[in-house]
Amino acid sequence: MSPRTLGMTDALHDYLLQVSLREPEILYRLRRETAAGPGDGMQISPEQGQFMQLLAELTGARSYLEVGTFTGYSALAMALAMPADARLVCCDLSADYTAMARRFWTEAGVAERVDLRLAPALDTLAALQDEGRRFDLMFIDADKENYGAYYEAGLKLVRPGGLILFDNVLWGGSVVDPDKQDADTKAIRALNLALHADRRISLSLVPIGDGLTLARVR
């Protein structure tokens, strides 16, 4: 037993991947191609993707909403884990990054399940509310200063008992560095405090990847 979470050395991380990770070959290729291009730091870790897949399986999710799609790794991971009749809505601004996503979704045979909307995410979230859409699972991994607004919109879109996942909530450790006072770091700190105090959800911050908060809508 341990009274606190174990620190993750490089050797221990390698062991974790060795005995846990079951990354499909197509996800591996997408991750490697993303790593070779610009903005690779926006890619989630493969173990986080697998953890999110397990959450989808455990909750029986059939509808998934994503804010911030990048090259499509997280969306593809979720599409592969969810039933064939599941539907995904992905919000992004970049036609360039999501071109890679579309290519891999097509290769994996899941492209027809994914509704990619290239527009400001808050506009898309408002449109989804107008359409009367409801989702089982939502993943927020976009511009940090709008995390709070995405969350409030998500509470109107995710069903009671559904999950909202927030990426980058440890922000490379900057959340505890008093010298880090940039807008993104302040936004993540404010979000974490707000989520902790919000009784509309139950939550847990999991130290996987760059920190992943699970919020279950009550």
Q: 3-class secondary structure for 82-126?
A: CCCCCEEEEEECCHHHHHHHHHHHHHHCCHHHEEEEECCHHHHHH
What confidence score (pLDDT) does residue 2 get? 76
The DSSP letter of residue 37 is: S
What confidence score (pLDDT) does residue 154 get? 99
In angstroms, how far is CA 96 from the centroid of its own chain?
Answer: 20
With a cut of 70, list the residues of the chain below it in pLDDT.
Answer: 1
> In whole angstroms, what is the distance from residue 128 CA to residue 149 CA?
15
Domain 10-217 CATH class label: alpha beta
> In whole angstroms, what is the distance from residue 200 CA to residue 155 CA?
9
What confidence score (pLDDT) does residue 3 get? 86
What confidence score (pLDDT) does residue 1 get? 63
